[in-house]
Structures are given as structure tokens and as C-alpha cells.
Structure 1
Amino acid sequence: MATTPVRTVPDLTGLLKHAGHVLETQLTAALAEVGLTPRMQCVLLYALEEERTQVQLAELAYLDKTTMVVTVDALEKAGLAERKPSETDRRARIVAVSEAGARAAEEGQRIVDRVHGEALAALAASQRGPFADALAELVGHHLATPVEAQPVRRARQRAK
């Protein structure tokens, strides 16, 4: 019987995936109380910062084209944003946030801050800043850019 290889460093991938998944489910549940999703909140925030196209917003929010279209459709249906011609380039269409969308984004940010604060509260007060700083350092440098990799695919099954 083969033995399990000994880990020489913590399973960073597993820890980050688990923490990210749980945090996202908590955030999704909390934002649902005000009719938002984490994607909607993210798009609203980036669209409020400056005039941006759907493509630019999708890149900032790490959304693929299809998911971005669905997200903006939902924002439009809720009256929180609309697609309209850019003021600087009439060929381009931007996502403009309505007054209701700006209010929703503000409320959403309070919820995001609360959920993140609750997660950090699990750490001792002296650990919170250093933890967030270390994570930001990783994301800002070594883990800033994904590498191009072949997607993982299941082997084809033989016909029986």
C-alpha cells in the first residue's frame, strides 16, 4: 500500500479555497437581504468609480462575458443601472449607475464590511492587520497573475 506524501508546507490552495467559498456564501446570503448579489455589488462599485464599459467592468470584477451580461441585465431589471452611450466615445456603451443603484451600493458596502469584519473578528485583534496585510501582499505580488494553463479535463469514457 502506498503512503501519503508528507506535506512540507500548509495546503494553501485548500485553505484559501475553503475560506473563499465560505466567505462568499456568507456574503451572498447577507447581500440577498437587500436584493443584491456579490457580483452586482462589485459591478456597482466599479461603475460608480468612473465611466466604464461592460468589458472593463467584467475584467475588474473577474467575470466572464456571459456572467457580466446576466449581471448587468439583473441590475437594469432592478433599476440600479443602465447601459448607455459613453460621453467620451459614442461608439462605446457604459454601465451607468442610477441613484437607486448608488444607494444600493452604499447599503451593500455596509453589508460587505460587516461580513468581512465578522470574519476577521475570529482572529485576535493583534492578528487582523498583519493577516490582511500578508494576504494583500500575496495577491499584489506572487499571486497577482494567473498562469496560462491547460484546463483540467476528465478522460473520455469508452463506449460500452
Structure 2
Amino acid sequence: MTAMAPARTETDLSFLLDHTGHVLRSRMSAALAEIGLTARMHCVLVHALEEERTQIQLAELGDMDKTTMVVTVDALEKAGYAERRPSSTDRRARIIAVTETGAEVARQSQRIVDGVHRDALGSLPDDEREVLVRALNRLVTGHLAEPAESPQPVRRARERKN
């Protein structure tokens, strides 16, 4: 006798969120690539423009490890969009300062990001869009606000912080 798979009793929320997140990130990457940016570069530019922030603070906001952050800032410097400077409040710390060209690129990339999000949400009827956004906001501020403690690190997709 062959064993049968257990019957699923709930909607596969993990699949739905993972799949939509993956496809949204792939569309975002493709759209930003048209202007030579990555999502991480966009994230750093926008957050660095909001206020003076150190490389460490920007890495935390963008959910990046130290190595990824260094590579991202190197790419922004090479493109002439940002530069590392001493902090005005802590001489030991380095902040990421966005150049005028970088600020213009950030405005352009924010329009692209907003467009990708608008297209995704615009594919839903108005009433469903509002309910989805409200429900997701409730999950990320409530029941799913913090990851569970786990002995095995869980591979985490980059979440939206930009």
C-alpha cells in the first residue's frame, strides 16, 4: 500500500508570498537595470538622501551584510552617484553622501520603483487592492512583525525597506 500525502487544510500562504515576492523583485530588478541600478543601489541612494547615515546604518535599513554593502557603495562611487565621507558627528564613522547626479538618478529610480508597485497593485480591482495592502500591513506590524528564533538560520529574501 502506498502512503498518501497529507491533505492540506490551509491556504499555502508561504508559496503565495514567496512567489509574488520573487516575481515582484525580478520585475523590479529588470526595470532598475534599464538605468544601470540594482535594487540595493536604489535603496542606499534613497535612504542616504533622507538624512546623514553611516554605511552600517544603511546596510541595516537595506538588510545587507557588510560585504554586500561595500560592493554596493563601491558601485555607486564608481558610477559617480555617491561617495564615502567622514561623518559630521563622529570622525571615526563614514557616511554615504549622494552626489547631485546620484540624487537625480534616485528620483528616476523612485519613479521606476513606484511604477512597478503601481502596476502590480493596479492589476487588482480597487476594493481588493485596498484590502490586500491593509492586510499585509497588519501582518508585518502584527503577527509576522518579527522572525521566530531558530537554531538554523533561515535564508531571507530582501524585504522592502525603500
Global fold match (TM > 0.5)? yes
Identify unmatched segments of 5+ residues in structure 1: 154-160
The one-letter amino acid of 1:137's match is: R
User: In structure 2, how many angstroms separate the alpha carbons of the residues matched to 1:4 and 1:38?
Assistant: 39
Identity %: 61
**RMSD (CA atoms):** 1.4
Q: How far is the alpha carbon of 1:147 from its aligned partner? A: 2.2
What residue number does 2:32 align with? 31
Q: How far is the alpha carbon of 1:148 from its aligned partner? A: 2.6
Question: What SS does the aligned partner of 1:31 have?
Answer: helix
Q: How far is the alpha carbon of 1:143 from its aligned partner? A: 1.6
The range that moved more, 49-58 or 143-152, is 143-152
Q: How far is the alpha carbon of 1:152 from its aligned partner? A: 6.5
The range that moved more, 105-114 or 134-143, is 134-143
User: In structure 2, how many angstroms separate the alpha carbons of the residues matched to 1:152 and 1:39?
Assistant: 22
User: In structure 2, how many angstroms separate the alpha carbons of the residues matched to 1:23 and 1:98?
Assistant: 29
**Matches for 1:1-160 after TM superposition, within 5 Å:** 1-151=2-152
The range that moved more, 87-96 or 1-10, is 1-10
User: In structure 2, how many angstroms separate the alpha carbons of the residues matched to 1:21 and 1:53?
Assistant: 29
Question: What SS does the aligned partner of 1:102 have?
Answer: helix
TM-score by length of 2: 0.89
Question: What SS does the aligned partner of 2:8 have?
Answer: coil
User: In structure 1, how many angstroms separate the alpha carbons of the residues matched to 2:132 and 2:153?
Assistant: 31
Q: Which string of whole-angstrom CA distances, capped at 9 and with x for unpartnered residues, describes residues 2-60 of structure 1?
A: 21222222111111111111000100000111111111111111111111111111111
What residue number does 1:157 align with? none
Q: Which string of whole-angstrom CA distances, capped at 9 and with x for unpartnered residues, describes residues 95-152 of structure 1?
A: 1111111111110010011111111122111111221111111112222222232337
Question: What SS does the aligned partner of 2:152 have?
Answer: coil
Runs of 4+ in structure 1 over 2 Å off: 150-153
The one-letter amino acid of 2:10's match is: V
Question: What SS does the aligned partner of 1:95 have?
Answer: strand
Identify unmatched segments of 5+ residues in structure 2: 155-162
The range that moved more, 24-33 or 4-13, is 4-13
The one-letter amino acid of 1:108's match is: S
Larger relative contact order, structure 1 or 2 (CA cutoff 8 Å, min sep 6) = 2
Paired positions, count: 153
TM-score by length of 1: 0.91
